[in-house]
Structures are given as C-alpha cells and as structure tokens.
Structure 1
Amino acid sequence: MIQEVQTYINQWERLADKALAGERITLEEGLAVLQSDDHELLPLLQAAFRVRHHHFGKKVKLNMIFNAKSGLCPENCGYCSQSIISTAPIEKYTLLKKDVLVSGAREAMERKAGTYCIVASGRGPTDREVDEVCAAVREIKEEMPLKICACLGILKEGQAARLKEAGVERYNHNLNTSADHHDKITTSHSYDDRVQTVEAAKEAGISPCSGCIVGMGESDEQIVKVAYELRTLDADSIPVNFLHAIPGTPLEGMDELNPRRCLKVLALFRFVCPEKEIRVSGGREVNLGTLQPFALYPANALFVGDYLTTEGQVANQDHQIIRDLGFEIEECAL
C-alpha cells in the first residue's frame, strides 16, 4: 500500500516537474489526471500547488463581472440563458449607460476585486456600444486603480484598437470547448470566429483572456484538447467554468460534474498552462460546493459576486476562504 501511494505521488510530481520546466504534458498524462482515482486527489492537488506556488505564491486575484447588457442575443449557445433559443426567465436590457458602468466599478473596489469585467450579451458590439464602454472605461481609469476587462463578443475591425486606446487592458472571449466539440454547443458562429477575436485583441496590444466551460457533454480527450488550444493561443488568463445547467436552456438537466472532477480539471489546466492565471469561474459554488477552498491550490484567481444571470457567493465568504487557507488577496492586481 505504501509503495502504491508513493507511485502515484511520484507520477503527479513528475507532471509538476515537466510543467515547471516549460514542457507540455502529453495527452496520455492529461487523461491520467482526469481519470485518476479519488484517493489520489490530495497528492494531485499538492503537485499542482507546487506549480501554482512557483509562479504566484499564495496570492489570489479577484475579478468581478458586471452584466452591462442582458439577453437579446441572436446566438444559439446551448449553455446560455441569454441566447435566443433560451426560455429562461431572465432580465433583459440594452447596454447600460456610462454612469451605471462606473458605479459597478466602485462595487468591484468594495469587493477587493483587482479586475472589473464589463460583459455584454450579443454576437458582438455596435460601434455605439463600443463608444459607451470606452467612455465608461476612461472615467473608471481616472478614478480607480482597476484592471478593466471587456467581454463584448466578436469584434469587428478597429474595435479592439479603440478599446485599447480607452484603457481596456484585457479582452475576454472564451473558446468554451475544443474545436471538435464546438458544433455540439453552438452553430451560429464558428470556433474560428472565437479564435480570430482573441487574436484581434492580442494584435491591438490587449491581454487575451480565454477559457472554457466543462460539463457540456465533452469527452476527457476534448477537455485536454481545449487546454492545449488555450496554451497555443497563449491566453494570459484562463477562466475555467463548470456548467450550471439553467432551466430553459438546451443543456437543462445535464449533470456530469462532481467536486472532485472539477478539482482534477483545474489541476490539469495548471499543468498544461503553468504560468497563466487560472481562474475558478462560473458554476463554482454549484459544482464545487464545500470543496471550494481546494480549488485555490491549482487556481490563483476567482470571481467574486454574481455571475451574468445567476447569483454567486457573498464576497465576504470568498474573502474568508482565502484567509482560512493562509492565502492573500492581491488587491488592485494590475
């Protein structure tokens, strides 16, 4: 028994060694992480934490989402309550005015978030919407030491440059899933559309943020593939979402996840993208439950407050988790 324990400890420590050396773990090694026995979970998390600690110490970055435009989306994404095919009873409104967006930034400061994420539903922004967001960003940057992330959908030519000029440091556009699973989730835009928007943000000098949603019927191999794809894309920040299947969406009732599975996914992403910000994102409270604190051993960031159309945990509870772990909030982490 002791020899067996030492064997799998050594297995995960070898993955940590490879990650720290900048080597990409193999597909077989990635699958071994996802398919590992639950009794291997603590040694697996310890190995992932060694990589996390090397790059980020015990610091935790906090991000806050602000739903700047809700519903009214013509896309058919199966996970999304804001989609045109969703019947979920959500609030719907057009892009909020500048003063409301600025007020949201003040709330982010109160919650000790270092990054304020302005999110708008829809395929992509109109030029007028970009103007409104830019005006709000300029005012926020004059008043508060926040990093600004915009998530406005597929960008048209020139829009990324305008956002950059206004002070947007980061642009989020998730790949959501691997290229070979994308059509199972949405057909109203392509996987390449998503990649091209991330590349447009990078070309404009904006830090790319792109991640995934796990639990949408994808295979283990497809989870490893999207981790590889995000490594190739060189996303600086990788939000890992866990499906919160909302009634009224096509994925309603899907329930593939448990807390241990989620922790293995986070460990995988730390091994594949060792020096990147791995953020525990949507569905955290629902899918990780009482094991939420363990997520910060592989991950170094999380969202505080509510998500787009679902409620999140009270910020003080997140702050308490971080304190209880002996970790430190990286306030105003620019």
Structure 2
Amino acid sequence: MNNGLRNDWTVQEIQDIYNMPLLKLVYRAATIHREYNDIAEVQVCTLLSIKTGGCTEDCAYCPQAARYHTGVKVHALMQKSEVLSYAQKAKEAGSTRFCMGAAWREVRDNRDFDRVLDMVKGVNEMGMEVCCTLGMLTETQAQKLADAGLYAYNHNLDTSSGYYEAIITTRTYDERLQTLDNVRKAGVSVCCGGIIGLGETHEDRIGMLHTLSTMPQHPESVPVNALVRVKGTPLENNPKVDIWDMVRMIATARILMPKSMVRLSAGRAEMSVAEQAWCFMAGANSIFAGDKLLTTPNPAFDEDNAMFQMLGLKPRVAFKEEKKVAEEEIMSIVNS
C-alpha cells in the first residue's frame, strides 16, 4: 500500500462496493475522485487502426477476426506518413495521447514491427503520449517499444478469468497477464481494462476488477468498454449495455484505483450527453475522441468539444505526471 492506495482488495470488499445503492456509490466515487484528481480534467485520446482485419484470434466481440463475416475489409499496415498525418490532426483537435492498434495476435520480429517502432518515434517527437495495442509482446519487444519512446501499452483483460474461455479460446488469460508483466518490466505505463455486455455475470465484472485492483501496481489507465454489437460476430444479438451498469463499473473502478485514469471507452456513441455526464461524475476522466474506435463508430471531435464546454471539462495536458515530478525536482534543488 502507498499514498492511501490499496492492492490488497478482497473479492468480498469489491462486491460490497459494487452492490452499494447507486447514488451512494456515485457519491463515494466522486468524493475519492476529487481527492486524487482534478475533476474538471479529462484525458483525450485518439485511437487509429494502423492494420485492420484478418486477425487469427476468435474474440467473440471483435469485427476484425478473420473467421467472422462482418464486412470489415482487411488493410495492410499503414504508411508512417499517413499515420503521422492522423496524429497531427488529432493533436490539433485536442488529443494528447495517440494510440495505434494493429489486428495482430502477437508482435513478430519483422519489418512490420520495425515500421511500427518508427511510427512510435515519430508520434513521440510530436509531443504526444504514444500508445500501442498490438497483441501479445515478449519482454524484448516491450523494451524495443520503450526505447522508441512508447509511453503506454494497451492490453485488456476483457473479462474475468472464469468467463474468459467463453469469449476467447485462441489465447489464455495467463498469456494476457504475461504481456502486461513484460510491459511493466520495460518501464512502459499499462493501459488495461475490459468490456461489459459480453454475457458475463456481475460476479465476473467484480472478478475482473479484483484482478486489476490487486496488481502490484494499478494500471495507469483502465478502459471500461460497453460492448459494441457488430453484425456477424457471435455477440451481435446481445442486449445493449444498461447505462447504470456502466456508471456502476466506473464508480467501483474509481474507488478501487483512485489515481488511475478511468476511461469511458467503447459504447459512447450510443450514450446521450446526460448519460456520459453521469460517467464523469462517477470518476471517468479519460475518453477516446474521433469518429472511429478502430472499426466502430464514436462521437466526432466537435460533439465532444460541445459536451466539454457544457460540462465545464478541459483536456488534460500530455505528460502531466512527468512534468509534475520535474517541477518538484527543480523546486527541491532551488530550496536546498
């Protein structure tokens, strides 16, 4: 435990928090959020699919799996110049983190990976926090990404360890945890969360939050995704996720991991501004901006800007924690 943060939550404690009356839960989460974060500040991230479709995995929710007929066209790895052009537009629109996603099962040591390393260097030089989600990584590959300037790596757990095999059979939960461990060892910040609406129980959601909140170091970023039901995937007929389930997940995540960025991720396109406001009140302080999340719809930049103005929110600056540490070091030198 450090700074009042806990990594020893029990399943029963999390269950008690998760099952609190909703208004009481949101009030508690909002109070903790205010203690640890600037509640008016939201990290704005942009996600670009740099290699689309044709994935060999069988993730039941994913339109990019080659075995499902979803209408997603396969696109080879994008050119660096095109990626940097997207990153520049995202930066001008207010994004401070740029995430590049490739529909790979795992990273292979080949020319494509070398090209991604070059893209990471390019985005980093633009003064943006650069993130990647490329599938499984070895320790050596994670270190190469770190050396290129990677700031964060996204690798979601998706759901609880108990429900995982109902959603994915082509890789194990332990393999996901190993990739996260490799990322952490390389000194890259961890972005890891999951999806609700996969057909899981409330106990599964609590189980996933238990895994995240008892990691030796909480993920710096925790995306909470509502399933986007895509025609052609096995989950296309699942019911729409209830907004209050999203609020409950975000609030619980905020209480368990007070300093993490809790990201209101996939599913925002189906939410009203009022519903999103509840999520921000419950402790969400990060969103994906731009009209697409890999291959699924997302609110446009101008819609988000209007919402920020209405709710009195502002984009978080890039590298905020690093700037804060540097300022503290300078002040300690000045005062010594």
1:242 counterpart residue number? 226
**Counterparts of residues 114-153 of structure 1 (less than 5 Å):** 114-127=96-109, 128-142=111-125, 144-153=126-135
Q: Which residue of 1 aligns with 2:235?
A: 251
Note the 1:170-185 alignment, pairs <5 A.
170-185=152-167
Confirm or deny: 8 A CA contact 2:195 2:227 kept in the other structure. yes
Q: Structure 2 unaligned runs (5+)?
A: 321-336
Q: CA deviation at 1:258?
A: 1.1
Q: Distance in 2 between matches of 1:61 and 1:333?
A: 11
* Cα contact 2:139–2:183 (8 A) shared by 1: no
AA paired with 1:310? T
Query: Could you tell me how far apart the structure 2 residues matched to 1:84 and 1:124 are?
Result: 15
Confirm or deny: 8 A CA contact 2:261 2:286 kept in the other structure.
yes
Q: Is the CA contact (8 Å cut-off) linking 1:52 and 1:300 kept in structure 2? A: no
Residue 31 of structure 2 is matched in structure 1 by 50
CA distance in 2, matches of 1:29, 1:288: 32
Distance 2:140 2:302 in 1: 40
In structure 2, C-alpha distance between the alignment counterparts of 1:249 and 1:289, rounded to whole Å: 28
Greater CA deviation, 144-153 or 249-258? Answer: 249-258
Query: Within the alignment, does 1:61 sit opposite 2:47 as a pair?
Result: no
CA distances 1:147-169 after superposition (whole Å, capped 9, x unpaired): 00011101135111111111001
1:248-277 deviation per Cα after TM superposition (whole angstroms, max 9, x unaligned): 001111015211121111111111212111
**Paired residue for 1:267?**
251
Q: Distance in 2 between matches of 1:254 and 1:222?
A: 17
Find 2:307's aligned residue among 302, 305, 321.
321
Aligned 8 A contact 1:41 1:264 in 2:
yes
Query: 1:230 Cα shift?
Result: 1.0
- Distance in 1 (alpha carbons) for counterparts of 2:133 and 2:240: 27
Q: SS state of the match for residue 109, structure 1?
A: helix
Match of 1:202 among 169, 179, 184: 184
Offset from partner CA, 1:205-247 (integer Å, 9 cap, x none): 1111111011111111111111111122321111111111111
Q: Distance in 2 between matches of 1:136 and 1:27?
A: 41
Residue 162 of structure 1: aligned partner: 144
Percent sequence identity is 30
Distance 1:183 1:289, change over 3 A: farther
Distance 1:141 1:267 in 2: 32
Residues of 2 paired with 1:61 and 1:224: CA distance?
Answer: 25
For this pair of structures, how many residues does the alignment match? 313
Say if 2:93 is the partner of 1:108: no
Q: Which residue of 1 aligns with 2:5?
A: 22
- Residue of structure 1 aligned with 2:261, choices 263, 267, 277: 277
| Root-mean-square deviation (Å) | 2.1
Distance in 2 separating the partners of 1:159 and 1:196: 13
Conservation of the 8 A alpha-carbon contact between 2:273 and 2:307: no
Q: Which string of whole-angstrom CA distances, capped at 9 and with x for unpartnered residues, describes residues 27-66 of structure 1?
A: 3453355445xxx434432221111121111211111101
d(CA) in 1 for partners of 2:200, 2:241: 12
Amino acid at match of 1:271: I
Contact 2:29 2:254 in 1 (8 A): yes
Alignment of structure 1 residues 209-220 onto 2, 5 Å: 209-220=191-202
Instruction: Could you tell me which runs of 5 or more consecutive residues in structure 1 were left unpaired when the two chains were aligned.
Output: 1-18
Per the TM alignment, residue 284 of structure 1 is displaced from its structure 2 partner at its CA by: 2.1
Q: Secondary structure at the match of 1:92?
A: coil
The secondary structure found in structure 2 opposite 1:30 is helix
Q: Is the 8 A contact 1:282 1:307 kept in 2?
A: yes
**7, 18, 22: which is aligned to 1:41?**
22
- Contact 1:27/1:221, CA 8 A, preserved across alignment: no
After superposing on structure 2, the runs of 4+ consecutive aligned residues of structure 1 that deviate more than 4 Å are 23-26, 32-36, 287-290
Cα distance in 1, alignment partners of residues 313 and 163 from structure 2 = 36
- Give me the whole-angstrom Cα distance separating, in 2, the residues matched to 1:313 and 1:333: 25
Question: Which shows bigger deviation, 27-36 or 60-69?
Answer: 27-36
1:301 aligned to which of 274, 278, 286: 286
CA distance in 2, matches of 1:46, 1:321: 22
Is 1:229 the counterpart of 2:211 in the alignment? yes
Instruction: Tell me how far apart the structure 2 counterparts of residues 100 and 283 of structure 1 sit (CA, whole Å).
Output: 27
Query: CA contact under 8 A between 1:227 and 1:273: conserved in structure 2?
Result: no
Find the aligned partners of 1:287 and 1:184 in 2 and give their Cα distance.
27
Distance of 2:76 and 2:280 partners within structure 1: 35
- Counterpart amino acid of residue 102 in structure 1: L
For the residue of structure 2 that corresponds to 1:158, the secondary structure is helix
**Is 1:61–1:333's contact at 8 Å kept on the other side of the alignment?**
no
Q: Are the equivalent residues in 2 in contact too, given 1:277–1:299 (CA < 8 A)? A: yes
